[in-house]
Homo-oligomer: A and B are copies of this chain.
Amino acid sequence: MQITISSTFDAGNVEVIKADNPNDIQLKIRKDTESDFLQWFYFRVQGAKDTACKLNLLNAGDAAYPEGWDNYQARASYDRITWFQIPTQYNGQTLSMELTPEHDSVYIAYFAPFSYEQHLDLINEAQQSPKCTLECIGHTTQGRPIDFLKIGDDDASKKKLWVIARQHPGESMAEWFMLGLIERLLDEEDATALTLLQKANFYLVPNMNIDGSILGNLRVNARGINLNREWAEPSIENSPEVYYVKEKMRETGMDFVLDVHGDEGLPYNFISGIEGIPSFDDKLKQLTDSFIDNWMAINPDMQKEYGYPKNEPGKANLQIGSKNLGEEFHCLSQTLEMPFKQNANIPDEELGWSPERSIKLGDSLVPVLLSIVDDL
């Protein structure tokens, strides 16, 4: 049977150069829309049941973060529910993945995808809770509704907690995280969530970059814009996703924000803070420390040994979401990074960092926020 490779579905991304020899299937990652970024891939292999395949991504070396390929293992799935790691090598230019498929059709991806249909199901489900409101606060450049969830009530005296995710659409773990967070917040039998919602309302954007997600992009929206460099001056034309969310933030106010991301390189979860913003002060420092330390205590998938270097005072790039918002709202504003690879402290040889672990990390944000909400 002939090998066929396709990517003509939600978030699909691959170009086929040559697929006639299972031992040397030659592929390329397509560039992001209107952009030179590339790294996300997602495709389906057919016709290779019980055949040893070597799948080579020839232009892996041109990726946005080539260091992301070191010690990286690609994910594969037959049912797109369980995604398992497959042997993967990087030689400085080509990423080579090995698999002998057990079934006629198998999917391979950079990370377990979270499709637009899954996004719609997530918000369809959430909105049915009496404590959740779903609102269209604007449209993407391709005309899709920007879905905004409010969990709580209209009590303006409560703390205003924002969580946004997936500015970078290829970082699908960010939306799995949101799934875990939202399900726990809406759980009527969860004392931690119930108590937190006595003190705070939540404002959530489960997917900041819907067009880019569907297009199979790593970093940009349908206009080729990296949304996480647009927060200083978002535009309706090029970055409506940021423009309308920031407008909403000004309407609601903000006492906390978490911007949820994935990191291509580091095999750890970590927080990237706002030490470099002009108004950073002792109170923000203490809040940052409590936030991270409490999270580590509740869920050891969080750690603080590894991460990005902290900005020098005053040197933060205020075009970046968390820095910009921390400065404007003078509140605890953090970026969460989850790995594409592993949490090397608690590795899972079979799955790597996974949807399940991302969901649980989102779930565990609830007790962390309860532990600091009174100080926000």
Contact = CB atoms under 8 A, between A and B. Distances in A.
Interface of A: 1-2, 4, 6, 8-10, 44, 46-47, 78-80, 103-105, 115-117, 120-121, 123-125, 127-128, 133-136, 139, 142-145, 188-192, 194-195, 294, 297-301, 343, 346, 348, 351, 354, 356-357, 360, 364, 367, 370-371
A191 B4 contact: no
Nearest to A370: B300
A124 to B, nearest CB: 5
In order of increasing CB-CB distance, the 7 nearest A-B pairs are: A189-B356, A104-B134, A191-B301, A4-B136, A195-B300, A8-B144, A46-B136
A116 B7 CA distance: 13
Given A4-B145, A298-B298, A47 B357 contact: no
A303 to B, nearest CB: 10
A80 B115 CA distance: 15
Given A115-B117, A120-B9, A191 B299 contact: yes
Given A105-B124, A189-B356, A367 B9 contact: no
Given A79-B124, A121-B80, A143-B6, A348 B105 contact: no
A189 B357 contact: yes
A363 to B, nearest CB: 10
Contact of A103 (B128, B346, B371): B128
Contacts of A103: 127-128, 134
A191 B210 CA distance: 30
A135 to B, nearest CB: 7
9 contacts: A8-B142, A9-B117, A80-B124, A104-B134, A188-B348, A190-B360, A191-B346, A192-B364, A367-B367
A215 to B, nearest CB: 12
A79 B125 contact: yes
A12 to B, nearest CB: 10
A300 B191 contact: yes
B367 A298 contact: yes
Contacts of A125: 79
Nearest to A119: B9
Interface centre among A116, A192, A301, A364 (most CB of B within 10 A): A192
A189 B124 contact: no
A93 B115 CA distance: 37
Contact of A144 (B6, B123, B357): B6
Contacts of A78: 124, 127-128
B136 A297 contact: no
B135 A346 contact: no
A28 to B, nearest CB: 16
Contact of A127 (B104, B189, B360): B104
Contact of A357 (B191, B195, B364): B191
Contacts of A191: 299-301, 343, 346, 357, 360
A135 B78 CA distance: 14
A127 B106 CA distance: 10
A367 to B, nearest CB: 5
Contacts of A299: 191-192, 367
Contact of A9 (B46, B116, B123): B116
